[in-house]
Amino acid sequence: MTWPRFRDLLTTYLFVAPAVILFVVFSLFPFIKVFQLSVFEWDGISPDMKFVWLENFKTALFHDKSWWTSIRNAGVITVLALTFQNFLALVLALIVDREIKGKNFYRVVFYLPPVLSGIVVGLVWNWIFDGSHGLLNHFLVFLGHPEWQRAWLADPATALYSVSIIHMWKGFGWGFVILLAGLQAIPRELGEAARVDGASELYIFSRITVPLMLPVFFLVSILTVLGTMQIFDIIIATTNGGPGFHTEVPITRILAAMLGSSRFGYACSLGILFGLLLLSISMVQMKLSKWSSRYS
Amino acid sequence: MNARSARRILCVLGSGILLGLSACSPSNNKADANTILVWHWMTDREEALVKLTDQYQQQTGVKIQLELYAPSDAYATKVRAAAQTNTLPDVFSVLGESRDLASFINSGHIADLAPAMNADRNAWRKQFFAKALANTAFQAGNQYKVTPGQYGVPIDVTNIQLIYNKALFEKAGLNPEKPPRDWTEFLTAIRALKAAGFAGLVSGWGETWLIQCFASNYAFNILGEEKVLDTYRGKVLYTDPEWIQVFSLFEELRKENALASGVVTMVNKTAEQIFATEKAAFALNGSWCVNVYKGMNPDLRYGAMMPPPASKRFPMRIWGGAGSSFMVNARSTKNEQAIAFLKWLSEPAQQAQLSTETLNLPSNRASLEKIPVVLAGFAAQMDNTTHPTQWPVAEIPTVNEAFEKGIQSILIGEKTPVQLAQELDHLKARYRAREKRQ
């Protein structure tokens, strides 16, 4: 190899080196480390780690009821978000897509909740849902239904749904923005031509808008599932997983294992299982998304 | 690109990498030989600590570099990460349970201060409340296999009691100078307070350690210390009638509607607001509340009382001990200077100054005469305190969590005391079996 060639190669590698070093240190190494730790019993401090084979995975899958409860809870919130949150986002996007007065103002307003901190949102909603002096209870009394008052976040019958409402309120803005972008990408001429041919608005929506929007719907649903399954900050700010295990979600369980019980190995195994679950869901959705792209 | 500009870019890149690497080096290496680096998380005490460390520098010429990392969760994570990379400062704190402290000690991160404490006929040791030292001491035969010693210096003490609102007592026709003396009187007082339109007991039981604290008070009162510890050792079952009696107290609270609305998911800060705004008559809170209530409602009239006992068999024990303790890095080259600073910080004058400015109880007994009167009620009960970090054995963390969450379930009427006790026994048996297998 000639000196100029060597110098060129060296220059190239040195340019790439910072990015590679950062990737290895902050992404690759932690990723591999999680897999390594998942087969050990380790408290996070001690230099001694006990190799336990797949015991951590076995415990998580077959003995840890609270883990499955947390998956179920996250699943419930996800289903609610997929339906109600995205329905609301779509309706608002359809409204704002039309030529209405102040549409830019609405676009900003609808996009505000997602950019707020989850902790702040949680604290505000804590006040709304408060059992003694909450806004919602005051409103119910005003409506003449004092018997409906309750501590919404502390009652096992309503805690999970209350948390879901907070999450959906905070999250619908993302879907709104993406769906609005999708709607605006549909050529206006298609709708106009259909109208000239006498098609109703419902017909245009079901036969033109929905098919062309299918890839966008799938994108929004993938983001909703991934975002909702990883819900965490709102839970911490409102219920901390309680009452009992009624609002526990996977991330709070992983944190409880890691920081509450100092079981780093077990927490890593939960993280891997959770990662695999999200990966499987994403793969199914990607398949469906590809299919929808072809269809649309 | 010509060779000259390529060389320039390479120089910039190289410098960047070197700078980046140097930024990753231990922060205490940056400090000079006459500087002690202290990490703490106490936002409320930062100002007072800065004043004290300035005084120390004027007196001794040794600079104390305070670094504040808050909130406490973030601090605990930072200390843990620093331990893994051997970059702990000269003085720091381990926030957590005994097993966490034990792990730091067994890994060689924390210096044994017993020789310094015991020098000159225990001169330094004698200054402290014994219970304050107990939180960071390990005795022979401890379950964590830690070499017996003293591994922390308490800078203040705390205890958790029932706080009651004297004004609300008067409004409900109760004598504010005669708070309830037993469980029956407690429930009677709550009925009277509720009839007058006030909520009974409020506490941040969404933070489950406060549930554990209240339950533990009554477990010591009903079962006695040895039986409680024997439960953790696996010699007594949770289905024992006396444990059922402890769990039944929570069921009684639920049936009497004695708790403020939403306590099972409430954080303690909210509970403090509810008590400070006179919406609830009782609160389970620590001595730090004096400072908190002063900020929220300076005119609040309240008193501290021991939780009213439910049994006459054993004395009531409340949680307490060291509020905050500092540890000395065993690998630091400035061990002696760090210990000298901590000795100075725990002297009566500095302790009184810290207590007056932060309204926390001092760890030095000799400072008690100089502290605000309002703290005296808390200080009076220091000898009746206990804490999980002082016990020779600890419950399995998973069982502890099930215990706390289970009590939440009793409070919302989802489980009975017997159901919870059976669940705990079942869970414990499974973990014991697993331990044996391993």
**Whole-number pLDDT of residue A293:** 73
Q: Which pTM was predicted?
A: 0.84
Q: Using the predicted structure, report yes or no on whether residue B18 has a pLDDT greater than 80.
A: no
Could you give the number of structural domains in chain A? 2
Q: How far apart are the first and last CA of chain A?
A: 54
CA B61 to chain centre: 33
> CA-CA distances (angstroms) from residue B246 to A243, B211, B422?
20, 12, 14
Mean of pLDDT values over B126-142: 89
Domains B35-156+323-390 and B159-320+395-431 fall in the same CATH topology: yes
Domain ranges for chain B, please list them. 35-156+323-390, 159-320+395-431
- Of the candidate ranges A3-12, A73-82, B368-377, the one whose mean pLDDT is the lowest: B368-377
Enumerate the residues of chain B whose CB falls inside 8 A of the CB of residue A41: 438
Mean of pLDDT values over B325-336: 94
Check CB contact of B372 with chain A, cutoff 8 Å: no
Contact (CB<8Å) A243/B199: no
Q: Which of A59, A151, A240 sits opposite B262 (nearest CB)?
A: A151
Q: What is the pLDDT of residues B202-252, one digit of tens each?
A: 999 998 899 999 999 999 999 999 999 999 999 999 999 999 999 999 999
**Whole-number pLDDT of residue B28:** 47
Check CB contact of A266 with chain B, cutoff 8 Å: no
Check CB contact of B95 with chain A, cutoff 8 Å: no
**Whole-number pLDDT of residue B27:** 47
- Are residue A80 and residue A120 in the same domain, yes or no? yes
Q: What is the pLDDT of residues B289-318, one digit of tens each?
A: 988 898 899 999 999 999 999 999 999 999
Q: What is the pLDDT of residues A24-66, one digit of tens each?
A: 999 999 999 999 999 999 888 887 888 998 999 999 999 899 9
Q: Using the predicted structure, report yes or no on whether residue B371 has a pLDDT greater than 80.
A: no
Contact (CB<8Å) A154/B6: no
Exposed, middle or buried: residue A2 (CB in 10 Å: 0-12, 13-18, 19+)?
exposed
Which residues lie below 8 Å from residue B1, measured CB to CB, with a gap of 6+? B9
Give B98's pLDDT tier (boundaries 50, 70, 90): confident
Closest chain B residue to A264, measured at CA = B80
Check CB contact of B83 with chain A, cutoff 8 Å: yes
Give B29's pLDDT tier (boundaries 50, 70, 90): very low
Enumerate the residues of chain B whose CB falls inside 8 A of the CB of residue A131: 261-262
Contact (CB<8Å) A133/B106: no
Check CB contact of B278 with chain A, cutoff 8 Å: no
- Are residue A145 and residue A203 in the same domain, yes or no? yes
Most A CBs within 10 A among B100, B250, B264, hence the mutation to make, goes to B264
Mean of pLDDT values over B323-333: 93
Distance CA B278, CA B166 (A): 10
- Of the candidate ranges A129-143, B182-196, B224-238, the one whose mean pLDDT is the lowest: A129-143
- How does the average pLDDT of chain A come out, rounded? 91
- Are residue A192 and residue A220 in the same domain, yes or no? yes
Enumerate the residues of chain B whose CB falls inside 8 A of the CB of residue A155: 412
Mean of pLDDT values over B57-72: 92
- Whether the link from the prior residue into A243 is cis, omega within 30° of 0, is yes
**Whole-number pLDDT of residue B96:** 84
- Are residue A21 and residue A53 in the same domain, yes or no? no
Domain range spanning residue A74?
38-295
Distance from CA of B202 to the nearest CA of A (A): 12
Give B11's pLDDT tier (boundaries 50, 70, 90): low
- Are residue A186 and residue A274 in the same domain, yes or no? yes
Backbone φ and ψ for B163, nearest 5 degrees, come out as -105, 140
- Are residue A133 and residue A270 in the same domain, yes or no? yes
Give B31's pLDDT tier (boundaries 50, 70, 90): low
Distance CA B350, CA A113 (A): 48
Of A8, A285, A253, A236, residue with least CA distance to A122? A236
**Whole-number pLDDT of residue B7:** 59
**Whole-number pLDDT of residue A18:** 94
Of B137, B122, B142, residue with least CA distance to B387? B137
- Are residue A16 and residue A139 in the same domain, yes or no? no
Give A242's pLDDT tier (boundaries 50, 70, 90): confident
The domain that holds A51 is classified in CATH as 1.10.3720.10
Q: Using the predicted structure, report yes or no on whether residue A146 has a pLDDT greater than 60.
A: yes
Enumerate the residues of chain A whose CB falls inside 8 A of the CB of residue B203: none
Class of domain B35-156+323-390: alpha beta
Give B365's pLDDT tier (boundaries 50, 70, 90): confident
- Are residue A148 and residue A100 in the same domain, yes or no? yes
- Are residue A82 and residue A218 in the same domain, yes or no? yes
Fold of B159-320+395-431: D-Maltodextrin-Binding Protein; domain 2 (3.40.190)
Q: What is the pLDDT of residues B151-184, one digit of tens each?
A: 999 998 889 999 999 999 999 999 999 999 999 9
**Whole-number pLDDT of residue A131:** 85
Q: Which of A17, A50, A240 sits opposite B206 (nearest CB)?
A: A240
Q: Which of A14, A44, A261 sits opposite B397 (nearest CB)?
A: A261
